[in-house]
Amino acid sequence: MALLPFLKKKDTAPLATADLEAFLAGYSIEVMPRTAEKVENFRELLPAGTRVYIAHIDGTPIEEMIATAARLRDEGFDPMPHFPARIIKDATTLEDWIKHYSMDAGVTQALLLGGGISTPHGDFDNSMQLIETGLFDRYGFKRLHIAGHPEGNRDIDPDGSDKNVMEALRWKQKFSETTDAQMAIATQFCFEAQPVIEWANALRDAGVTIPVHIGVAGPAKLQTLIKFAMACGVGPSLRVLQKRALDVTKLLLPYEPTEFLTDLAAHKAANPDFNITHVHFFPLGGIKTNAQWTIENGGRSATPAASA
């Protein structure tokens, strides 16, 4: 399938190209085994060394996950598989996964998260329990990422607060101060810059200094984004999409993250110590479309995010 032509929006201000390009440096992107199978050659889409998260959806055989990781490694990328706690039966299963990722695919990093199901399949309910096994350290994993929720998470805090989320982040902050593994917070995707800036500043005020990799929805049809946003629990910033849906002039145009990222990039340029350090793309409109957008907005110059 040929790359889709890039559609420029007619109603955006000129890009702050240098700021945006700097902000995109070291970006990461997410795939699933079934979508990776449709990509003939990742080298044609992504800068060498790009970190590629591999989403583990409940029901995906671990063999497919490991094969995808091995393929990405062979093509010159840095695979980071998901470890969703609630779909892992027990410590024996976890060790088996870690061992095969390490030995068969050269994986040295992982995204640890609770997972998208309500009832655990076995012994684990949250990512802290995965960390406490010590297995990632035993097998030499050099980088551990954890989940972040700029707009809260109703599964964790049913009352709409952020009490449990923040308690977990403080626990992980303490762990980050005792481990040799590099850590970062990879967030759910958002659509509005100012609330994200306020959330990131609040983290630092609360003593959570783990670097943040902000989740960004890649270019996609508006209807597709609204569907994913509702399914993933995206909250207040959903109004950005809903407002766009009411504008007939924009309804048929694909959504692009240009304004969202330009605003964050400008804030980062003005505040170099801002704790959002990298961009993580969810290619909801397809990885090829997402890759084309990043190339045309400076992403071609991206380098591996080795230090944050």
Is 8 within a domain? no
Is 10 within a domain? no
Domain span at residue 128 reads 17-301
How many structural domains are present in the chain? 1
Is 306 within a domain? no
Is 254 within a domain? yes
300 neighbors 207 (Cβ within 8 angstroms): no
Return the axis-axis angle of helices 91-105 and 62-74, rounded to nearest 10°: 30
pLDDT for position 245: 55
pLDDT for position 145: 98
Is 110 within a domain? yes
Is 113 within a domain? yes
Cα separation, 47 vs 303, in Å, equals: 7
Question: What 3 state SS string does 86-121 have?
Answer: HHCCCHHHHHHHHHHHHHHHCCCEEEEECCCCCCCC
Q: Which of 28, 17, 26, 12 is nearest to 266 (CA)?
A: 17
Is 244 within a domain? yes
Domain CATH code at residue 77 = 3.20.20.220
Cα separation, 165 vs 144, in Å, equals: 18
Is 61 within a domain? yes
Query: pLDDT 10s per residue in the chain (308 long)?
Result: 333 333 334 344 444 479 999 999 999 999 999 999 999 999 999 999 999 999 999 999 999 999 999 999 999 999 999 999 999 999 999 999 999 999 999 999 999 999 878 899 999 999 999 999 999 999 999 999 999 999 766 667 566 667 888 899 999 999 999 999 999 999 998 889 999 999 999 999 999 999 999 999 999 887 777 665 555 555 555 666 656 554 544 555 678 999 999 999 999 999 999 999 999 999 999 999 999 999 999 886 545 444 56
